[in-house]
């Protein structure tokens, strides 16, 4: 199985095959509009502006599973993101990334990556406590822990890296540039 075996739901309800992105470097992100990490949209858009011409696609999947931080419908979320952050990269229909209703793409990404911790950011203690409350064994599984978890996918569909929301966007950009 590869990333290209999955289809995802566009905001208009149509199915989009990830095979349409073959040959591109992908950064797949679960997002939220009311999260402390929401300002990362600015940095994601900057990254997209700098490298879309080189073959980068950022695929944005809003998710409301973490503290109800993406409560709106698809249109409302899209209006917020384009109006406040000017995003131009593809944004898909809101999904679940955990549990029995988790989107198959995110099940695959979670099952094929490891959680390496939240690092040493100021948010580490807060996120660790929240993750432990939702999953006592959170340190030992690949489940997504919070909004703005990112997955870097190579041009041939391999998972290259997983970035927790606390990861410096500068580090994310460096890995993306290496993949390009």
Enzyme catalytic residues = 35
**Alpha-carbon gap, residue 138 to 26, rounded angstroms:** 26
Note whether 128 and 15 are within 8 A (CB): no
Rounded to 5 degrees, what are φ and ψ at 94?
-60, 140
Dihedral angle over CA of 38, 47, 123, 134, nearest 10: 70
Q: Residue 98: left (phi > 0), alpha (psi -120 to 50), or beta?
A: beta
Distance CA 27, CA 56 (A): 8
Determine the number of helices (DSSP H) and then strands (DSSP E) in the chain: 5, 6
């Amino acid at each position: 199985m590869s990333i290209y075996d999955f289809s995802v739901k566009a905001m208009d309800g149509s199915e989009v095959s990830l095979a349409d992105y073959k040959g591109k470097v992908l950064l797949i992100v679960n997002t939220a509009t009311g999260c402390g990490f929401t300002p990362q949209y600015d940095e994601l858009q900057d990254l997209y502006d700098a490298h879309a011409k080189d073959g980068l696609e950022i695929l944005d999947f809003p998710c409301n599973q973490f503290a109800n931080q993406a409560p709106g419908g698809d249109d409302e979320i899209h209006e917020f993101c384009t109006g406040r952050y000017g995003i131009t990269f593809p944004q898909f229909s809101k999904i679940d990334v955990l549990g029995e209703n988790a989107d198959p793409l995110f099940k695959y990404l979670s099952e094929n990556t490891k959680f390496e911790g939240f690092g040493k950011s100021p948010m580490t203690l807060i996120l660790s406590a929240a993750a432990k409350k939702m999953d006592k064994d959170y340190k030992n599984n690949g489940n997504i822990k919070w909004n703005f978890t990112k997955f870097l996918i190579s041009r041939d569909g391999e998972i290259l890296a997983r970035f927790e929301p606390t990861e410096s966007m500068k580090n994310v950009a460096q890995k993306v540039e290496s993949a390009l």
